[in-house]
């Protein structure tokens, strides 16, 4: 799993609001350079990768899209719809937990990423 930092995709208008994006099974994109990525953001994205590995890519992306469209219809708000996606609810709940997802041993943990960046 590749982790790409300071990625130009976040200059796009519809991605400007985000600080990272998991594109399982390919890569995780971060807006900031490696040394500036918030550990909470890193943990949030690791949780998304763990979710995709747990339920499978097809089910992960199908339910992500389904929840987002359903949330848009219900709330008429991009932010509210995003926060209702089941995988986001779970990732926001998990992002402050110091326990790294066991499904992601290949991702560099926060402390390792910090020392690699310095």
- Could you list the residues that contact Zn ion (CB under 5 A)? 88, 91
From CA 77, how far away is CA 66, in angstroms rounded?
15
Beta-ladder partners of 20: 30
Pick the closer one to Zn ion by CB: 67 or 88.
88
Q: How far is the CB of 95 from Zn ion (least distance, A)?
A: 8
Which helix (H) or strand (E) covers residue 114, if one does?
helix 110-117
Residue 57: CB minimum distance to Zn ion, A: 16
When the beta carbons of 88 and 113 are compared against Zn ion, the nearer one is 88
Cβ 13 to Zn ion, closest distance in Å? 19
- Which tokens go with 72? 């848009």
DSSP string of 3-36, one letter each residue: EE-S-GGGGSGGGTT-SEEEETTTEEEESS-GGG
Q: Which is nearer to Zn ion, 21 or 34 (CB)?
A: 21
């Amino acid at each position: 799993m590749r982790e790409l930092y300071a990625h130009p995709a976040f200059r796009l208008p519809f991605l400007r609001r985000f600080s990272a994006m998991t594109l399982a099974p390919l890569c995780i994109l971060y807006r900031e350079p490696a040394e500036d990525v918030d550990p909470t953001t890193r943990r949030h994205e690791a949780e998304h990768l763990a979710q995709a590995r747990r339920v499978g890519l097809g089910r992960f992306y199908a339910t992500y899209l389904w929840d987002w469209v359903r949330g848009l219809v219900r709330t008429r708000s991009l932010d509210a719809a995003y926060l209702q996606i089941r995988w986001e609810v779970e990732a926001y709940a998990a992002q402050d937990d110091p326990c790294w997802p066991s499904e992601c041993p290949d991702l560099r943990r926060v402390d390792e990423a910090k020392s690699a960046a310095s």
